[in-house]
A and B are shown apart, each in its own frame.
Chain A
Amino acid sequence: MPTADHARRRRIWRKTIRYAVLIVAAAVVLFPVYITVVDALLSPQQITHRPPFLYPPSPHWSSFATAFSQGNLGVYLRNSAIMTLAIVAFELVTSVLAAYAFVFLRFPGRKVLFFVTLATLMVPGEATIIPNYQTINTFGLLNTFPALILPFVASGIGIFLFRQAFMGFPSEVRDAASLDGCGHLKFLFRIVVPINRPVIGAFGLFAFLGAWNQYLWPLVVTQSNSVRTVQIGLRQLSGVSFSQFDVLFAGTVIAAAPIAILLVLFQRQLVAGLTAGAVKG
């Protein structure tokens, strides 16, 4: 059967081409990260060697230790973690509380206040940075953790997302719960929050990434090492001369590692969080 053979050969060809394109695309996407890891494991002499090394012939781990000791990376990572966890915790609490009030409580001005919440989505932090800097300065908070955290204790997107999720909750359940003498706070923390864990988790991860990756605001309000975040620490590190680039490469790897690990652990939730609202699902 020559035609069946022909069709089979065509299928194999197509598959081979598809894999070839996939491999080339993957290599291009991965190359910058791969070469950074390789360079972090080369000595300064090996980094400047031409033609360049594309793998570490004898891994040189000391650059990582130097990045922690001289580059202060350990302190910066800790600072980023403190700032990020505080922002995520505040955003989750304030958003859950406000969304609950908007959905389950009746009070005058509810609609106006929800509109005010939505209006914050139209005010980007970049446009308000000068007075916010002055406010933080007036309260003597420059170079402190509160400076990094306070402007982000509430999130319009969080309130909006949680309100959408809570609105899907059958009101009969709330009525039944209140007949049983279940107060609002108990109802919120025993029933509403546990049931909405997926959306709260997805937003939490989204908020975590946003806070961890912040750049402009931490740059403006921190000058001292004691509160500097890892993103701004990298900026500091990139000022080294190129003979010390092994330390810069190692610092970059260290700065990227926590989020990379987090994403491997929470890949599904991340996809849900990033595509929330954009795609029906």
Chain B
Amino acid sequence: MREASLGYLMILPAVAAFGIFSFYPLVKTAYLGFFLAPPTPNLPSKYVGFQQYSSVLGSSQFADDVGRTALFVAFTVPLGIILGLALANLAQKHIRGIRLFRTIFSSTVATSVAVASTIFFTLLNPQIGLLSYAFGKEGGNGILNNPHWALPAVALVTIWQNLGFTFILMSAALQSLPQDVLEASMVDGASSFTRLRQITLPLLSPILFFAVVIGVISGFQAFGQIDLLTQGGPNHASLVLIYDIYQQAFQFNNPGYAAVLSIALFFMLMILTFVQFWFFQRRVSYANG
């Protein structure tokens, strides 16, 4: 019986942490969604059961949040992957100085979301930002204050910040391709475009799928760039789901409302994580088999 108690003891720290900071708060979040915040902070919150769930999830604000989140993902994921793949393809050939280019292309992994956002916050500043100057937008309200451009600008920052990671991932994927198949197609005289479309992309499809799934997950979790660049504005133009949760819970004192949104976010991310994990498990079992 010593083996069993040692086993429990070794697992205890992790399981205790999961219980306190993962499972309990998940149940508690679902429970908080049953309570309506009082009109003034001193009054007790009111139990309303599922009523708050149905009113929040049926509201146009929620639909708009999800729509903007989906739009953000649609801006960031495909373009990010295409750019990462293009750079990886460009840096594949062993030519003089290629290591320097590889280092440059992967360099943005060194930036945190706060660093990347601050860099672009200054570049897009309407008074002194060089990008504002380059686009002839100096002196106005600024790109980040334009309802049409706020969300695309935040997406651009995100693509730039993630580019290093995407580049590293795509380079590793390209290097893992079976060289004999590629060489055979070159001997057959396939053009580089045909080779890309008919051989490289199909061989890459598992990794592209992986990149899409983690891109979508991180798109749903994108918070820092919104907070630093637009705070969800102007006029809700960049109010994604996670930012709405943050504002409702920590600025508008409305935890019940935020809890309902959190549960919605949880289910969306759970499905995506499930897909990612299923993929991961499959790859690992292939690699070991």
Q: Which residues of A contact B (CB under 8 A)?
A: 15, 18-19, 21-22, 25-26, 29-30, 32-33, 35-36, 39, 47-48, 50, 52, 93-95, 97-98, 100-102, 105-108, 110, 113, 116-124, 126-135, 150-154, 156, 159, 164, 168, 184, 209, 212-213, 215-216, 219-220, 230-232, 234-235, 237-238, 242, 245, 248-249, 251-252, 255-256, 259-260, 263, 267, 270-271, 274-275, 277-281
* Given A33-B119, A97-B14, A128-B29; 9 other pairs, CB 8 A cutoff: A29-B160, A124-B269, A126-B221, A126-B269, A151-B21, A219-B227, A252-B115, A270-B168, A274-B109
Q: Distance (Å) between the CB of A148 and the closest chain B CB?
A: 13
* B246 lies within 8 A of chain A by Cβ: yes
- Which residues of B have CB within 8 Å of A123? 22-23, 26, 266, 270
Residue of B nearest to A153 (CB): B17
- Which residues of B have CB within 8 Å of A15? 95
Query: Contact between B283 and A278 (Cβ–Cβ < 8 Å)?
Result: yes
In the bound assembly, the distance between CA atoms of A252 and B263 in angstroms comes to 35
Query: Contact between B25 and A116 (Cβ–Cβ < 8 Å)?
Result: no
- Which residues of A have CB within 8 Å of B43? none
Contact of A279 among B127, B172, B249, B269 (CB under 8 A): B172
Query: Contact between B284 and A128 (Cβ–Cβ < 8 Å)?
Result: no
Contact of A126 among B7, B24, B242 (CB under 8 A): B242
Q: A98-B14, A278-B283 are in contact. Are A18 and B93 (CB under 8 A)?
A: yes
* B169 lies within 8 A of chain A by Cβ: yes
Q: How many positions in chain B have a CB within 8 Å of any CB in the partner chain?
A: 92
Query: Contact between B112 and A98 (Cβ–Cβ < 8 Å)?
Result: no
- Which residues of B have CB within 8 Å of A29? 87, 104-105, 107-108, 160, 163
Query: Contact between A102 and B25 (Cβ–Cβ < 8 Å)?
Result: no
* B85 lies within 8 A of chain A by Cβ: no
Contact of B112 among A105, A128, A129, A255 (CB under 8 A): A255
In the bound assembly, the distance between CA atoms of A267 and B172 in angstroms comes to 13
Chain A interface secondary structure, helix, strand, loop or mixed?
Answer: helix
Contact flags B133-165 to A (C-beta < 8 A → 1, else 0): 100000000000000000000000000100101
Query: Contact between A212 and B112 (Cβ–Cβ < 8 Å)?
Result: yes
- Which residues of B have CB within 8 Å of A267? 103, 106
Can you list 19 A-B pairs with a CB-CB distance of less than 8 A? Answer: A19-B95, A25-B105, A29-B108, A47-B128, A101-B6, A105-B4, A107-B4, A117-B15, A126-B245, A130-B249, A132-B25, A184-B3, A184-B6, A230-B114, A231-B115, A234-B114, A245-B128, A277-B283, A279-B169
